[in-house]
Structure 1
Amino acid sequence: MKNLLLKSIVTSFIIVVSSCSKDDPKPDPVVVVPPVEVTDALTTQNVKTYMVDKNATAETVALFYNLKKLAKTKFAVGQQDAFLSFYKDAGGDSDIKKTTGNDPAIVGSDLSFVTDIRNDGTDSNWFYQEEVKNATQIKNAYAKGIINTVSWHLRGPKNKNYPATDNEEYTFYASSMFDADKSTFFRSILPGGTEHDWFKGKLDQVADFSSKLKGSKGELIPFIFRPFHEFDGSWFWWGADFCSPEEYKTAYQFIVTYLRDTKGVHNILYAFSPDNSYSTSTNYLSHYPGDTYVDVLGMDNYGDFNNLGQTGADKANAKLKMISDLAITKVKIAAMTETGYRVTATVSPVTNWFSTYLYSALTANNIQISYIMFWNNNLDGYWVPTPTASNAADFKTFATKSKSALVNTLPSMYVLPN
């Protein structure tokens, strides 16, 4: 681990040896070299040097630093749409709070509604209403000291499941794309492509949304942004079948440089988050845009937890160990950016799934993972159990283990320590 230096004090004693003689019976002099303190590579003074945005806001810098330090002892536990989507549409407190008594430590939102072509910015428009709900969720989470992460299910190609005359329905799923778009659409958004201006327009909307996220003192709210996630699969139009590694890198790099340098957005940490297909660092880095474009090394992983017991948990741990080691070497943040096991009327919970299998995947082999996020509960199923569910006690046990952090045990994430 190149950049992780053990905190210790090394004291060296150099004994200067000189020849003894009968005329000089005095003992040889001893020269003591002062103690040398070896510390972590990351400090409050140099934190910006490891970040994508050297002009990041103070709160964004603090979030990077505190997430990196958190991983040494704990991982933040959270859920997508924790304040917006509930099992059986129950509403009220987050389902995590219903079960544990405390809100999550991290909350996920999405920019899909912000950039949807049907969002006309009027109060009566459903897509604009969803945009406002997501912004409110982010603001409320920040006010509680919770971490925010934002995905982007960007609708782009025309949806073949709608009439050809309907110009308003677009998709992010490859299965709904016209075949002609599958081989061309991603390439068309790159610089020089026919849809590049369209893509810049979408990023303009992202920048505008980011600028409206403000705390009680007018400060910009930081969030972790993970564009084009799960790219190693091919269920999204930005997936592996539709772009080369170099094309993916080009698109990701353009997102960062356009938002940061052209639009002046400085409240974002950028996450790189494939699905779980990569088990070696070489493969994981095949689409990696580079250290200057990525703050968070993530991985979405549902497959290894699909009722595969300890075998699946061990596979997941090995992959997390891989990204944890990379994050230590690169001085980045490591995270399980999505995971879960969904329970429905026809799919029963797995005994001790949370407290045994998931927890061991997140803690074995001394890995350093900063956060984990479950997907959103809804009317038909849950990833996080509510109090009456048969696995509620299992989740509560998981959430109160020594390395799990809900908001009640989360340190202050938006202020650099002294």
Structure 2
Amino acid sequence: MKNTFLKIAFLSLSVLSLAGCSSDKDSQEEVIVNPPAETDPLTTQNVTSYMVDANATKETIALFYNLKKLAKTKVAIGQQDAFNSYYQDNGGESDIKKNTGYDPALLGSDFIFITDKNNTNQPDNWFYQQEQKTISDVKAAYAKGIINTFSWHLREPNKEDSFYAADMTTEQKNTAFKSILPGGTNHEWYKKKLDKIASVVLSLKGSNGELIPIIFRPFHEFDGSWFWWGANFCTPEDYKTAYQFTVDYLKNTKGVHNILYAFSPDNSYTTAANYLSRYPGDKYVDVLGMDNYGDFDNQGQAGANRANSKLIMIAALASDKVKIAALTETGYQVTATKPPVTDWFSNYLYGAINNIQGFDTILSISYVMFWNNTKDGYYVPNGTVSNTADFKTFATKPKSALLNSLPKMYELPK
């Protein structure tokens, strides 16, 4: 690791000790109060040397470059299923736009219904209709200049009923992930799922016929064990093998060159060594991410500090590896029985994705994505609820970016 990273790591440990999350030994680590400014080797000429896909489309190359550069000054703000999921089913514009007047900078989608066993590829099929809606949303987002990202809640390979480990037998949990690896009993099944993803991603085209770039984060939140690909159900080597196969198959076998690949555990990792314990390698990852709900679940400043220290750790790795850093999922869901937290967006979240100690050269996060709103709860206030002003304040702060302050993401600067 570079010297810059080592110094940042000391600072990260110090922040953890302030939040009450580190050992006595950690609290004795040296605090570097004035770390050097990071250097950025990325240029418009050498972008692909830091990317997974050396043959990526020019729009995908531009997205990688612009996301990396964006983090120096802005954090793109988006939401999962923003064009279809509304609080109290109040349709129309996204809830972000209802609140702020501007579209989100990032749209989250999912391959879940696209690869569902019940998708017949027929116009009258509900799952196929969801596939078409997803494709339409991605195209509309791209036309506006919005960034598109995909998760994949893949149902387990036995009955394909659920993606939650709690719905599986002990035998299924212990064998499911290994079965999709090369040579496994469900490997061909898994390849067919990837075939469907490839066909859809290759159908995503802009008005000039160009392929639309997406960010894809397979097997997310793998450090927890609520999904069947979680840490209790596969070894680090199993996980790396599956991730690497996924990338190689889409890129090399299926010829898909409009994907950036994201690595996104949940929030359990506090050190670089642990974070990288299941990392498939720089040749397979474009985005270093983290999903984090727990540190923001009404945890106050201590929770924000914990989240901040983890993001500093990820951003330092991204600086060292010349990758993109992101808060790939987060939020605090407000419901009828769970009221808003005062200044949750403008204070706790904004502080966590910036620098509680004021070192702008350390924390460079490219985007943050909230989970989707529902009829009975919301992660983003839609303009009619009590914390509307808090979100609007957050969205208009200097480092926040909705679509109106997002640069052209699909063109390299001249």
**TM-score, structure 2 normalization:** 0.89
User: How big is the shift at 1:158?
Assistant: 4.2
- Counterpart of 1:110 in structure 2 is 110
**1:118-267 mapped onto 2 (5 Å cutoff):** 118-158=118-158, 170-267=161-258
Q: 1: CA distance between counterparts of 2:136 and 2:77?
A: 20
Q: 1: CA distance between counterparts of 2:59 and 2:369?
A: 21
**1:16-165 mapped onto 2 (5 Å cutoff):** 40-158=40-158
* 1:298 aligns with one of 266, 272, 289: 289
Q: 2: CA distance between counterparts of 1:401 and 1:42?
A: 27
Asked whether 1:352 is paired with 2:352, we answer no
- Counterpart of 1:405 in structure 2 is 401
Instruction: Check whether the contact 1:355–1:397 (CA below 8 A) recurs between aligned residues.
Output: yes
Structure (1 or 2) with the greater strand fraction: 1
User: How big is the shift at 1:157?
Assistant: 3.7
Instruction: Check whether the contact 2:158–2:176 (CA below 8 A) recurs between aligned residues.
Output: no
Q: Which amino acid aligns with 2:313?
A: M
Q: 2: CA distance between counterparts of 1:301 and 1:276?
A: 5
Q: Which amino acid aligns with 2:256?
A: V
**1:311-390 mapped onto 2 (5 Å cutoff):** 311-364=302-355, 365-366=359-360, 367-390=363-386
Q: 1: CA distance between counterparts of 2:294 and 2:139?
A: 32
Q: 2: CA distance between counterparts of 1:157 and 1:174?
A: 12
User: How big is the shift at 1:205?
Assistant: 0.5
Pairs aligned (count): 377
Residues 385-411 of structure 1: CA deviation (Å, up to 9, x unaligned): 011110000000000000000000000
Match of 2:350, SS?
helix
Q: 2: CA distance between counterparts of 1:182 and 1:394?
A: 42
Instruction: Check whether the contact 1:4–1:41 (CA below 8 A) recurs between aligned residues.
Output: no
Q: Which amino acid aligns with 2:286?
A: D
Seen in structure 2, the aligned counterparts of structure 1 residues 341 and 138 have a Cα distance that, compared at 3 Å, is same
Match of 1:248, SS?
helix
- The structure number with the bigger radius of gyration is 1
Q: Which amino acid aligns with 1:404?
A: S
Instruction: Check whether the contact 1:158–1:177 (CA below 8 A) recurs between aligned residues.
Output: no
List gaps (5 residues or longer) in structure 1.
6-37, 160-168
Q: Which amino acid aligns with 2:310?
A: K
Q: Which amino acid aligns with 1:174?
A: A
Q: 1: CA distance between counterparts of 2:4 and 2:228?
A: 38
Q: Which amino acid aligns with 1:172?
A: F
Q: 2: CA distance between counterparts of 1:59 and 1:106?
A: 16
Seen in structure 2, the aligned counterparts of structure 1 residues 354 and 39 have a Cα distance that, compared at 3 Å, is closer
Asked whether 1:396 is paired with 2:392, we answer yes
> Deviation above 6 Å: which 4+ runs of structure 1?
none
Match of 2:354, SS?
helix
Residues 27-65 of structure 1: CA deviation (Å, up to 9, x unaligned): xxxxxxxxxxx9730000000000000000000000000
Q: 2: CA distance between counterparts of 1:244 and 1:158?
A: 20
Q: 1: CA distance between counterparts of 2:244 and 2:381?
A: 38
Match of 1:112, SS?
coil
Residues 324-352 of structure 1: CA deviation (Å, up to 9, x unaligned): 00000000000000000000011000000
Q: 2: CA distance between counterparts of 1:248 and 1:117?
A: 24
Q: Which amino acid aligns with 1:358?
A: L
User: How big is the shift at 1:2?
Assistant: 3.7
Q: Which amino acid aligns with 1:397?
A: T
**TM-score, structure 1 normalization:** 0.89
Instruction: Check whether the contact 2:157–2:189 (CA below 8 A) recurs between aligned residues.
Output: no
Q: 2: CA distance between counterparts of 1:406 and 1:303?
A: 25
User: How big is the shift at 1:89?
Assistant: 1.0
Q: Which amino acid aligns with 2:167?
A: S
Q: 1: CA distance between counterparts of 2:71 and 2:167?
A: 39
Q: 2: CA distance between counterparts of 1:84 and 1:266?
A: 28
RMSD, aligned CA: 1.4
